Chains A and B, each alone.
Chain A
Amino acid sequence: MIRRFLGRLANPQVGALVGVLLINWLLFPNFFRVTWQDGRLFGSLIDVLNRGAPVAILAVGMVGVIATKGVDLSVGAVMAVAGAVAATLVVAGYPAPVAVVVALAVGFACGLWNGFLVAVLDIQPIVATLVLMVAGRGIAQLITEGFIVTFTDPVLIFIGTGSFLGLPMAAVIALVLMVLVTLLVRRTAIGLFIEAVGINRRAASLAGIRSRMLLMLVYALSGLCAAVAGIIVAGDIRGADANNAGLWLELDAILAVVIGGTSLLGGRFSVPLAVVGALIIQAMNTGILVSGFPPEFNLIVKAGMIFIILMIQSPFAVRLLPPGLLRRAASRGTEK
């Protein structure tokens, strides 16, 4: 049991995360120092968890979408919508739980809309979700009437900045979501069906899988996760910024999923590894910040990382590998 668990940890993604953390440690010797203060943990490592949480949550939703050979470009905009809904409701005097539930429902509905376009109208996912990517920010601006809506509601602020058992609330939420979604897809047949639809939708339909329902579900889940991330980000800045909340985060989420080993061509996927992918991205961001490099380097390093990963996954690189290697890896995978 323990060996199986350790075996699962021995994969390229976890290796890459450890590598990035070690580089950070070389550049900034205090990187691994964690202190206890005011009932919560502090340190660069905790910062990675806290700051990485929104993208990790987006990745939890995105990974299912990408596994079906789709993509959800709207998650950044849905974050802004959910944040705007939650902020506007608490400012209007509604209790925080109501605001949160309504914001989550709005995110879920946004996802259903994407799922409807993709599954029922058969629009290509990249175009279908582009609609909401553009429209979402407009909707968020209409909700906030063009202002940054600030609030002082303690519950929302706690969701964004509080801590639980010493860990940042955002990281705890991300962890819980990761576990719940992993259980949802792996303890039911949903994960297998998602992979089947992503690999061969025609064969899936002939094998009796209702791919429409399934697609609706994965896009709705992605919308729901985006709403969670949106509420966290709003709580963190104590306000809803329709223009900037979640800006470009859809790209980080896609990157996290791809780093996590899920191909954009659909198929095999892993929710925890997508979260590890998000942590790798955040560890790079934090590392560059704390080591004193100008933040401009961030984008260059990230681009370099994407390039390396795409190179490794490209058919070109696969051809360079000795042919026996893949076969051996495949048979080794069976001994688990």
Chain B
Amino acid sequence: MVPAGSTLAGTPIESALRRHGQEGRLDGDRLALEARGITKVFGNHVALDAVDFGLRAGEVHALLGENGAGKSTLIKILTGAYQPDGGMVLADGVPISLESPQQAQAHGIGTVYQEVNLLPNRSVAENLFLGHQPTRFGLIDRRRMERDSRAILARYGLGIDPSSELGAHSVAVQQIVAIARAVELSGKVLILDEPTASLDRNEVERLFEIIAGLKSSGLAIVFITHFLDQVFAIADRATILRNGRLIETRALDDLTRTDVVRLMLGKDVAFSGATKLEESRPLGEVLAEFRGYGRKRSVHPFDLTVHKGEVIGVAGLLGSGRTEMARIMFGADVADEGTVTVAGAAVAITRPTDAIARGFGFCPEDRKAEGIFGELSVRENIVIALQGKLGWFSALNRDEQLEIAGKFGEAMDIRAASLDMPVKLLSGGNQQKVILSRWLATDPAFLILDEPTRGIDVGAHAEIVRTINRLRDEGLALVVISSEIDEVVAYSSRIVVMRDRELVAELNGENINPGVIVQAIANHREASPA
């Protein structure tokens, strides 16, 4: 398995390769594309650890896993964008080398990404034939190109004019053109990376018809998505990755949604005893009420009532609409449906300042891109939301800033050499504490925390969970989004479950239990609605 002189010789990775490589796997199936013992290491992070992946001709194979599971690394290796550090790729049982996307294409492997990466300002025909246009006397034979394009498009049920600009068509049509191009160019394996992420339901159905047609013509299709319903609707088999390891490859007929979610999240949660033992406390008065609140192509209208002194946990897979829900509640995105009442009065929240004025605060999921101001000091990062609330002309002076930053920094136990050091020099956990302190300084009534504990060290993690509990006891309302089911169970007084951009269940009391949550994430029909 491991080439002689490989840098991996003698390492645990090498032995892992050996282990997997020796396993007989020829089960009589003819595999259109096979990856054996693929290992990929970035620095000292093992992104893929001896992963096997087999793709049959004429199947739709779902590749599943949470963020960081290694899906995209595997795809990049199969399409020649990355070179594996160990393992091999075979096509029709013959080892092949994939050193560039062009080589992958030559071996019949085509890819379509979520964002259509064609040229929107060129014609449909040009996009179909880009790089291999039919020529006549050394010049592009435009007439033949358009004639051929028309024939190809007809096969995909598209009656559009091949000379029209690609960008003039809907994303769904562009997506189909991208698929047509990939199939025409490659013709054996089609990799679809989140093709449905920006499509509506009708468009998804249309895409599925095309996928079914391609499948019956013998194409091997890899389908990556966050939408479990779509996996069960179209895929034959699924491979589940977690933390760079192969967990399972199985026919979907043998799997329930609950199984899939359990395998993806990696906890045998159904038997976990982490049921909530705490006494149920009476609900405080209503702080905010969202009714039929939603945004097209982002999150379906939901109802949510937020009480003082409660933590509402939001559970759901990545891409289930959790973050989108948080963003429209805070006005970071504008809701186009529904109403919101705060303290009994109907209000409009169309931008963050509206929400902040009502006492809302929001810690975004992507700390670096949307949370911190790297070059500004810890002090300035903490006071900025309060200063934003005060406005341009009631500036806090340096001493006031130091006092506020010191007070909240101490309460959150921020480990910084000085309040005047740039926040980018702090660890991720301390940066998260800075952002929490920023909102606590505004004396909020309602905090929305999107994955507040992701990617931070154990100590900071515990501190943030402690803070969530302390704030609830002080009478704040909190909505906390987290992928850590045990964590959500531990601090939530109520849990709402998101699936496919929809709020599908609200769990109370005894139902705040990892098993019930996993079932609700997998399929709302199995869960008991509140």
Interface residues of chain A, those whose CB is within 8 Å of chain B, are: 187-190, 192-193, 195-196, 199-200, 202-210, 267-268, 327, 330-331, 333-334, 336
Contact of B391 among A189, A195, A200, A336 (CB under 8 A): A189
A195-B352 in contact (CB<8A): no
Q: Which residues of chain B come closer than 8 Å to A208, judged between CB atoms? A: 352-353, 356, 385, 388-389
Residue pair B420, A333 in contact (C-beta under 8 Å): yes
Interface residues of chain B, those whose CB is within 8 Å of chain A, are 330, 332, 351-353, 356, 362, 364, 369-376, 380, 384-385, 387-396, 417-422, 425, 438
Cβ of A193: which chain B residues have Cβ within 8 Å of it?
387-388, 392
Known: A188-B392, A203-B370. 16 other contacts (CB 8 A): A187-B395, A189-B390, A189-B392, A192-B384, A192-B387, A199-B374, A199-B376, A202-B369, A202-B370, A203-B369, A205-B352, A206-B371, A207-B384, A208-B353, A267-B376, A330-B422
B418 proximity list for chain A (CB < 8 A): 331, 334
Q: Is the CB of B373 within 8 A of A195?
A: yes
Residue among B330, B370, B392 having the largest count of chain A Cβ atoms under 10 Å: B392
Given the complex of chains A and B, what is the CA–CA distance between A205 and B356 in angstroms?
A: 11
Q: Which residue of A lies closest to B442 (CB)?
A: A208
CB-CB nearest in chain A for B374 = A199
B373 touching A200, Cβ below 8 Å? yes
Cβ of A336: which chain B residues have Cβ within 8 Å of it?
Answer: 420
Q: 6 shortest A-B CB distances, which residue pairs?
A: A208-B388, A334-B420, A334-B418, A208-B356, A189-B395, A199-B373
**Contact B392–A190 (Cβ < 8 Å):** yes
Contact A209:B388 (CB < 8 A) given known A188-B395, A195-B373, A202-B370: yes
Q: Let me know if B353 and A203 touch, CB within 8 A.
A: no
A313 to chain B, nearest CB (A): 14
Residues of B within 8 A of A196 (CB): 373, 376, 380, 384
In the assembled complex, the Cα of A334 lies from the Cα of B419 at a distance in Å of: 8
B353 near A210 with CB under 8 A, answer yes
User: What is the bound-complex CA distance between A202 and B365, given in angstroms?
Assistant: 13
Is the pair B387, A199 in contact by a Cβ cutoff of 8 Å? Answer: no
A187, A192, A207: which contacts B438 (Cβ < 8 A)? A207
Cα distance, A196 to B371, chains bound together (Å): 11
Expressed in whole angstroms, the Cα–Cα distance for A192 and B418 within the complex equals 19
Check B384–A209 contact: CB distance below 8 A: yes
- On chain B, the residues within 8 Å of A330 by CB distance are 421-422, 425
Give the CA-CA distance A200 to B375 in the complex, in Å: 10
Do B421 and A331 touch (CB < 8 A)?
A: yes
**Cβ contacts under 8 Å, B385 to chain A:** 207-208
CA distance A229 to B356 in the complex (A): 41
B417 touches A331 (CB 8 A): yes
A191 and chain B: residue at smallest CB distance: B395
Most buried by A among B370, B371, B372, B438: B370
Check B353 against A189 for contact (C-beta < 8 Å).
Answer: no
Q: Is the CB of B376 within 8 A of A195?
A: yes
* Complex: A50 Cα to B374 Cα, angstroms: 39
Tell me the minimal C-beta distance from A329 to chain B in angstroms.
11
- Nearest-neighbour CB distance to chain B for A67, whole angstroms, equals 11
Q: How far is the CA of A187 from the CA of B396 in the complex (A)?
A: 9
Given contacts A208-B352, A331-B421, is CB(A267)–CB(B384) below 8 Å?
no
Report B-chain residues with C-beta under 8 Å of the C-beta of A187.
395
Q: Which residues from chain B contact A205 at a C-beta distance below 8 Å?
A: 332, 351-352
5 A-B residue pairs with CB within 8 Å: A193-B388, A206-B362, A206-B364, A206-B370, A208-B385
Please give, as numbers and ranges, the residues of chain B lying within 8 Å of A327 by CB-CB distance: 425
Give the CA-CA distance A192 to B364 in the complex, in Å.
21
> B371 — which chain A residues lie within 8 A by C-beta?
203, 206
By a CB distance below 8 angstroms, the chain B residues around A202 are 369-370
- In angstroms, Cα B517 to Cα A67, docked, is 47
Distance to closest chain B CB from A268 (angstroms): 6
Taking the closest CB of chain B, its distance from the CB of A187, in whole angstroms, is 6
Q: How far is the CA of A265 from the CA of B414 in the complex (A)?
A: 28
Q: How far is the CB of A270 from chain B (nearest CB, A)?
A: 14
Beta-carbon nearest neighbor of B354 in chain A: A208
For residue A97, give the distance in angstroms from its CB to the closest CB of chain B.
28
Q: Select from chain A the residue with minimum beta-carbon distance to B390.
A: A189
- Closest chain-B Cβ to A46's Cβ sits at a distance in Å of 36
Assembly CA distance A225 to B374 (angstroms): 30
Chain B neighbourhood of A199, CB < 8 A: 373-376
Q: How far, in Å, is A209 (CB) from chain B's closest CB?
A: 5
Q: Of A210, A268, A334, which is within 8 A of B421 by CB?
A: A334
Determine whether the beta carbon of B387 is less than 8 Å from that of A200. no
Most buried by A among B353, B356, B373, B387: B373
Task: Give the Cβ gap from B397 to chain A, nearest Cβ, in Å.
Answer: 9
Set of chain B residues within 8 Å of A188, measured between Cβ atoms: 392-393, 395
Neighbouring A residues of B380 by C-beta, 8 Å: 192, 195-196
- Specify which chain B residues have a CB less than 8 angstroms from the CB of A207 in the assembled complex: 352, 384-385, 388, 438
Contacts of A333 in B (CB 8 A): 420
Contacts of B330 on A, CB cut-off 8 Å? 206
CB of B357 to closest CB in A, whole Å: 8
Residue of B nearest to A202 (CB): B370
> What are the residues of chain A within 8 A of B369 when measuring CB–CB?
200, 202-203
Please measure, in the bound complex, the distance between the C-alpha atom of A294 and the C-alpha atom of B150, giving whole angstroms.
69
In the complex, what residues of B have CB within 8 A of residue A190's CB? Answer: 392
Determine how close the nearest CB of chain B comes to the CB of A112; give it in whole angstroms: 17
Residues in B with CB closer than 8 Å to A331 are 417-418, 421
Report the separation of the CA atoms of residues A209 and B352 in the bound assembly, to the nearest whole angstrom.
Answer: 9
User: Chain A contacts of B394 at CB under 8 A?
Assistant: 189
Query: Complex Cα distance A205/B372, Å?
Result: 12
Q: Are B373 and A203 in contact (CB under 8 A)?
A: yes
Most interface-central of B330, B356, B376, B438 (chain A CB within 10 A):
B376
Which partner residue on chain A sits nearest B396 by CB separation?
Answer: A189
Of A188, A206, A209, A327, which is in contact with the most chain B CB atoms at under 10 Å from its CB? A206
- Bound CA–CA A268/B419 (angstroms): 17
Cα(A267)–Cα(B380), bound, Å: 13
A183–B1 CA distance with the chains assembled, in angstroms: 69
Alpha-carbon separation in the docked complex, A267 to B376 (Å) = 8
Q: Looking at the assembled complex, report how far the CB atom of A228 sits from the nearest CB atom of chain B, in whole angstroms.
A: 23
